[in-house]
Amino acid sequence: MASQAQKRPAALQVILIAILVIWMIAAAFPFFWTLWGSFKVEGDFFSLADWTNVLTGEMTTRETGDAFTTEGYSGAWVQEEFWKAAWNSTLVCLFVVTISLTLGTLGGYALARSTYRYAFWFLLIALIFRAMPPITLVSGYLPVFFQWNIWGHLPTAIIVLVAINQPFTLWMLHSFFKNIPQDLDESAMVDGCTRFQAFRHVIIPVMWPGIITTGLFSFLLAYNDFAVTAMILDKENQTMVPKIASFLGTTQTKGNVMFAVAAVVSTTAPLFLLIMVFQRQIVSGLTAGAVKG
Amino acid sequence: MAEIQLRNVNKRWGSFIGVDNFNLTIADKEFLVLLGPSGCGKTTTMRMIAGLEDVTDGEIVIDGKVVNNLDPKDRDVAMVFQSYALYPNMNVYENIRFPLKVRGVDPATHDERVRRASAMVELDDFLHRKPAELSGGQRQRVALARAIVREPNVFLMDEPLSNLDAKLRVSTRAQIKNLSHELAVTTIYVTHDQIEAMTLADRVVVMEKGVVQQVGSPTEIYDRPANLFVASFIGNPAMNLIDGDLCDGVFETRNTRITGLNTGHGKTTLGFRAEDASLARDGEGQISAPIYTLELLGDATMISVRIGTSLVAVKADKSFRAEIGDLVSIHVTPEICHLFSTETGQRIDD
């Protein structure tokens, strides 16, 4: 029966779509809730009397004369100088990504092409370091940093973040390089390249998706890091995440929690943009098919 | 002009011997084929000549110059890889042009040279395509064009046809033969396919387990195999080999008695080719045995009988028909026989 055969998949289709929609709403809800709430006053967003206040904005209207307010944003960005933290985060991320990608591509390529046994052990040790909680490294570094008087500065945090990040970038790039057939390097070398020219002209262009993906992961590590930056940076040099935490830590003053909420939204927004811009490269199988015969 | 000399070339990885004491002089403009089963060291030999693999011992001389310590780029060789190794991010034109570009050849000549090379392999219409958009045969031709564009001293080809389907392989083989005739450049060609070796080579080097078994023209290799390995590797079907005893010019084993052989004594392996033997009338041949299988090939009928543990094939007329189990008699005259020592495997009837 044709009609029955068509009917069942249709029902299944509806169920599948329904599940997906429910899941998407459930997953996206906290973000939208935070975004919505960030334009309210604390009395609404954290209302004890009636949770629907956050929707109607009762207190917000009473306090500011409008159902929406940007008080949280101006408080965080201007009054508490969140822009400084944002700038610090930008610097930290830029340097962490640049340094760990540079070392990672060179090292990952070398390890992927090495015929020696130590390459394997090197990677294994890297994996162990990657598995260690970052805080164990920090506690070891701290006394030294104090003694050398370099505690609290951005470069120090950058160095520590690179150290934590490097094993991972090495691993990831190493496996990307492994997927590129060695014939390509060799062909380039016979065609007239030095080893480094082969790497630059032939391997790197094929590697872009891998480099972008790895770069994104190291960016996220630096961007989201709390343990290292909270311990190593002084108040002047704080990056965004510890700054948000410090907003939460001083709840004696009314409105600071709303600064944190506004800062959280400000911190999350660039990530959405970033993923959307690079999604094609992240998912891409640019090399698939072209490299293989 | 490029003569290549390999002097006592060895390649070892730890205790594993990849290539053992390889000595050979390859004449200028010669087409040399390295032939052998996988893992016999033929590709390693080629990679050592290209400079992609270090030589453990010995010297490689190209054009009178020892090149052991030269980088691949300084050896003036061009190589076609089994996987073609095209640069996936460049189109066909840029792929072919790449060697000129990295070697700093005068840019004014690039376009003309690329177009000439691509015309030679009939790629003119595909210059703007990426490798991913090409068929296997087209990719293979891009690899060829990239090798010839620079007009190097030496061509190295590492099983260039093994990724193509059977039909394409035949036409590309013909193309390579024609190209090499036209370009007249010293070529070393690695293959495990004996038909490629027979059709392309000026000289064939048969290798096994890192050791050179025989060097010679295709005819020599086919007509006078130096040992049992070469005899069993070359030819389709491979040479029939029968173990037996040789005494006073008479070779004997089960169902077999061949007289008139003029050398050898003791345990001997006798070989002959399927197309050299013929069917005899009942009881008049040197081998008489029941038919084991009978295969119709179209242009001939292949009859196999079992002698001891080996299968002996004979080519009969295409109209020949019989049943499995029927007794046949086979003519094996002394002239078509090759004699090998069973113990050492070496040819003894020279």
Interval B8-40: pLDDT, tens: 999 998 889 999 999 999 999 999 999 999 889
Stated length of chain B = 350
Instruction: Tell if the CB–CB gap between B52 and A184 is shorter than 8 Å.
Output: no
d(CA A216, CA A210): 10
Contacts of A287 in chain B (CB under 8 A): 88
d(CA A2, CA A142): 73
Percentage above 70 pLDDT, chain A: 91
d(CA B155, CA B31): 9
Identify from B11, B13, B81 which residue to disrupt to test chain A contact, counting A C-beta atoms within 10 A and taking the largest count.
Answer: B81
Name the minimum distance, in Å, from the CA of B105 to any CA of chain A: 11
Average pLDDT over residues A82-99: 94
Q: How many CB atoms lie within 10 A of CB B163?
A: 17
Q: What is the 3-state secondary structure (H, E, C) of A170-181?
A: HHHHHHHHHCCC
Instruction: Tell if the CB–CB gap between B81 and A291 is shorter than 8 Å.
Output: no
Contact A81, A75 (CB under 8 A): no
> Looking at the domain covering B4-226, what would its CATH class be?
alpha beta
Show the tokens assigned to A125: 């040790």
Q: What is the pLDDT of residue A6?
A: 55
DSSP string, A255-266: THHHHHHHHHHH
- Contacting A residues, span 148-187, partner chain B, CB-CB under 8 Å: 181, 183-184, 186-187
- Say if strands B287-296 and B240-247 run parallel, antiparallel, or are unpaired: unpaired
d(CA B350, CA B341): 12
Contacts of B150 in chain A (CB under 8 A): 191-192
Opening angle at CA B315, ends B311 and B316, nearest 5? 125
- Say if strands B211-216 and B154-158 run parallel, antiparallel, or are unpaired: unpaired
Show the tokens assigned to B328: 């046949």
Instruction: Tell if the CB–CB gap between A186 and B83 is shorter than 8 Å.
Output: no
Residues A54-86 pLDDT 10s: 888 888 888 888 888 888 898 888 888 899 999
Instruction: Tell if the CB–CB gap between A287 and B88 is shorter than 8 Å.
Output: yes
Residue spans in chain B of domains classed CATH 3.40.50.300: 4-226
Instruction: Tell if the CB–CB gap between A206 and B89 is shorter than 8 Å.
Output: yes
SS3 B256: strand
What tens-digit pLDDT sequence spans chain B (350 residues)?
Answer: 689 999 999 999 888 999 999 999 999 999 999 999 988 999 999 999 999 999 999 999 999 899 999 999 999 999 999 999 999 989 999 999 999 999 989 999 999 999 999 998 888 889 999 998 999 889 999 999 999 998 898 999 999 998 888 888 998 999 999 998 988 999 999 999 988 999 999 999 999 999 999 999 999 999 999 999 999 999 888 899 999 988 888 888 888 888 888 777 888 999 999 999 988 887 788 898 999 999 998 889 999 999 888 899 999 988 888 889 888 999 888 889 999 998 898 998 76
Q: How many CB atoms lie within 10 A of CB B238?
A: 16
Task: State whether residue A280 sits within 8 Å of chain B by CB.
Answer: no
A255 confidence band (pLDDT: 50, 70, 90): low
Residues B162-218 pLDDT 10s: 888 888 899 899 999 999 898 899 999 999 998 899 999 999 999 999 999 999 999
| CA separation, residue B255 to residues A98, B238, B248 (Å) | 80, 21, 18
Contact B120, B179 (CB under 8 A): yes
Side-chain half-sphere of A148: how many Cα atoms within 13 Å?
A: 10
Q: Which residues of B142-157 are buried (b: 16+ CB within 10 A; e: fewer)?
A: bbbbbbbbbebbbbbb
Q: What is the DSSP letter of B236?
A: T
Residue spans in chain B of domains classed CATH 2.40.50.140: 237-341
- The amino acid at residue A116 is Y
Instruction: Report yes or no on whether pTM surpasses 0.90.
Output: no
In this prediction the ipTM stands at 0.84
Average pLDDT over residues A120-145: 85
- The amino acid at residue A55 is L
Task: State whether residue B88 sits within 8 Å of chain A by CB.
Answer: yes
Q: A81-283 maps to which CATH number?
A: 1.10.3720.10
Instruction: Tell if the CB–CB gap between B71 and A188 is shorter than 8 Å.
Output: no
Show the tokens assigned to A55: 């929707």
d(CA B58, CA B68): 9
Instruction: Tell if the CB–CB gap between A289 and B132 is shorter than 8 Å.
Output: yes
> Looking at the domain covering B237-341, what would its CATH class be?
mainly beta
SS3 A20: helix
Nearest to B56 by CA among B44, B40, B72: B44
